[in-house]
Amino acid sequence: MSTKRRKVIAGNWKMNMTPSEAKELVKNIYAEVKGTKHCDVVVCVPAIDIPAVAQAVRGTCVKLGAQNVHFAEKGAYTGEISANMLKDCGVEYVIVGHSERRQYFGETDETVNKRAKAALDAGLTAIICVGEQLWERECGITAEIVSRQTKLALYDVPAEQLAKVIIAYEPVWAIGTGKTATDEQADEVCGIIRQVIADKYGKDAAKKIVIQYGGSMNAKNAAGLLSMANIDGGLIGGASLKPADFAVIVKAAQ
Ligand code: PEP
């Protein structure tokens, strides 16, 4: 079921970089990836860094992403940020349901779905994260877990919005651990996700949807992972804070 899909390489800076550090980092990243045409390059930055980074990436090939979004349009949700607020600051992408949010901040499949829908309704591209924990893989239920998360995240999401959906397959055991899934393991699960999309939206939609791999992707292993038929890019944590390494990953997407 392979076809030419545009790869998306997205950095997830997590809770790193003050606004002034963020400005510096994104300038250094841009210096390394300047002129990139073969894939989309995105940096998903802490909310407070958004204005500084938005200004720094204006007119460049680097696109701006956020790390979370609230599902309500507005109202009494102290400390939260809406999709329209992100949009107004020049944000184009937003990560939804990252495993750290599921693990530490009570994110559930239901709230992931609500956040994804709010992002899509505002015209943002939602990078929806799914992935099994180590014990779930060891129990042999990876396909079940990842299929369930994908289906629930896309509940009530119409086919017309699928062009703005990216699924990031991120095995929890591989995030920030230095343990990467093998090329084959990652490709197999991305293929399972693609099949879920085919079952729900049809083969054509499945051929078009961008499915990233994330979990200790780095300058050394990126080329192998990105050469697999079902892997259309990466969501990168640690290595996205190192401009030269991030640039190697961007090049590997060619
Ligand atoms: C992530 O934060 O989504 C991630 C994949 O982190 P790392 O690359 O550091 O494992």
At residue 149, the pLDDT reads 98
Residue 157 is given by DSSP the state: -
Give the DSSP H/E element, type plus range, for residue 127.
strand 125-130
- Domain-embedded: residue 109: yes
- Domain-embedded: residue 162: yes
Any ligand 1 atom below 6 A from CB of 176:
yes
- Domain-embedded: residue 1: no
Residue 86 is given by DSSP the state: H
Residue 193 is given by DSSP the state: H
Question: Closest ligand 1 atom to the C-alpha of 175?
Answer: 10
- Integer Rg of the chain from CA: 17
For strands 62-66 and 165-169, give the pairing: unpaired
At residue 4, the pLDDT reads 84
Tell me if 234 sits within 8 A of 214, measured CB to CB. yes
At residue 3, the pLDDT reads 60
Any ligand 1 atom below 6 A from CB of 237:
yes
170: annotated active-site residue: yes
Distance of CA 71 to the CA centre of its chain: 18
Any ligand 1 atom below 6 A from CB of 241:
no
Tell me if 131 sits within 8 A of 170, measured CB to CB. yes
- Domain-embedded: residue 53: yes
State the helix-helix crossing angle for 19-33 and 243-252, rounded to 10 degrees: 40
Number of domains in the chain: 1
User: Which among 131, 143, 69 is positioned nearest to 99, based on CA atoms?
Assistant: 131
Q: Is the pTM of this model over 0.75?
A: yes
Model pLDDT for residues 122-157, shown as the tens digit of each residue: 999 999 999 999 999 999 999 999 999 999 999 999
State the helix-helix crossing angle for 142-153 and 183-201, rounded to 10 degrees: 40
Domain holding 220, by residue range, is 7-252
Give the DSSP H/E element, type plus range, for residue 199.
helix 183-201
Residues of the chain with pLDDT under 50: 1-2
CATH of the domain at 197: 3.20.20.70
- Domain-embedded: residue 2: no
98: annotated active-site residue: yes
- Domain-embedded: residue 184: yes
The encoded tokens of residue 18 equal 């003050």
How far is Cα 126 from Cα 189, in angstroms, rounded to an integer? 19
Residue nearest to atom 4 of ligand 1 (CA): 237
